[in-house]
């Protein structure tokens, strides 16, 4: 699963649709280093969490499809957006193997484009690393809301899309290249909280909280 150490900058990358059409747990770390774009704003994914189906009590899909979670049962590469604690939005990428529900929660981004707009939408952030260092924070910074639920991330023309990692030669904020991936327990859950299904770049300051366990190095 997460034994893939090198991310971003390794040259040729498989199609995203191919990466997402496998077990959520396997696909999650492969999202690290890719670019999440919302209009003029974009950032590099540096932290994710995997949520599977019936075998994962913490997942919204654990008890079968509901009006909220039905997106997780649909085609991969779709954006699943839901409101948490009545205040914040959380963004997930639908990813699962055949006949299985699942989604990957995007927990943190490294802002690369449209940073000024992010500051406008997140005036309470104290430093650049606070802009997108949390699922609710990054949704606010990028302007992701409930209306984006169900958007096809694989379509570059969609209002929200995921692109392969780039050399970021024209980005506003310099970003690190290939790095090591670490994993640890998921945050903020009470069920199946011991599963190390959170993946992050080891040395990235934009991560919401650095996982303790190093899985592999690059």
**R_g over Cα of the chain:** 16
Q: Which residue has the tokens 């639908």?
A: 94
> Which DSSP string do the residues of 11-66 spell out, in sequence order?
S----HHHHHSS-HHHHGGGGTTPEEEETTEEEEEEEEEEE-STT-TTSTTTT---
Indicate the residue among 86 and 99 with the shorter CB distance to DNA.
86
3-state DSSP assignment of residue 121: helix
Indicate the residue among 86 and 98 with the shorter CB distance to DNA.
86
Half-sphere exposure of 192 (CA within 13 A, CB side): 17
Residues engaged in binding DNA (CB under 7 A):
49, 51, 58-61, 63, 66-69, 72, 80, 82-88, 90, 92, 103, 105, 122, 124-125, 130, 134-138, 140, 186-191, 208
Indicate the residue among 79 and 181 with the shorter CB distance to DNA.
79
Nearest approach, Cβ of residue 90 and DNA (Å): 5
Nearest approach, Cβ of residue 106 and DNA (Å): 9
Nearest approach, Cβ of residue 76 and DNA (Å): 15
| C-alpha span between 216 and 218 (Å, rounded) | 7
Indicate the residue among 13 and 130 with the shorter CB distance to DNA.
130
3-state DSSP assignment of residue 1: coil
Determine if residue 150 is left, alpha or beta; phi over 0 gives left, psi from -120 to 50 gives alpha, anything else beta: left
Nearest approach, Cβ of residue 176 and DNA (Å): 22
- Pair 149, 79: CB distance under 8 Å: yes
| C-alpha span between 44 and 142 (Å, rounded) | 12
Nearest approach, Cβ of residue 10 and DNA (Å): 27
- Return the beta strands (E) in 68-102 as ranges: 79-84, 88-94
Nearest approach, Cβ of residue 195 and DNA (Å): 12
Indicate the residue among 130 and 152 with the shorter CB distance to DNA.
130
Indicate the residue among 27 and 61 with the shorter CB distance to DNA.
61
């Amino acid at each position: 699963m997460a034994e893939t150490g090198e991310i971003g900058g390794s040259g040729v990358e498989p199609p995203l649709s191919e990466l997402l059409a496998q077990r959520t747990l396997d696909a999650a770390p492969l999202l690290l280093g890719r670019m999440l774009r919302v209009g003029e704003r974009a950032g590099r994914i540096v932290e994710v969490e995997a949520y599977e189906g019936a075998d994962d009590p913490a997942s919204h899909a654990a008890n079968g499809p509901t009006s909220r979670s039905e997106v997780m049962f649909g085609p991969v590469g779709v954006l699943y957006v839901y409101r948490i604690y009545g205040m914040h939005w959380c963004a997930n990428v639908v990813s699962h193997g055949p006949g299985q529900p699942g989604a990957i929660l995007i927990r943190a981004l490294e802002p690369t484009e449209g940073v000024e707009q992010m500051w406008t939408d997140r005036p309470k952030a104290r430093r650049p690393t606070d802009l997108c260092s949390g699922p609710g924070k990054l949704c606010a910074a990028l302007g992701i809301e409930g209306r984006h639920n169900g958007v096809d991330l694989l379509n570059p023309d969609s209002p929200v899309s995921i692109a392969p990692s780039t050399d970021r030669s024209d980005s506003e904020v310099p970003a690190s290249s290939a790095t090591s991936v670490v994993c640890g327990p998921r945050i903020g859950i009470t069920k199946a909280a011991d599963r190390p299904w959170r993946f992050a770049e080891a040395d990235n300051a934009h991560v919401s909280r650095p996982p303790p366990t190093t899985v592999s190095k690059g």
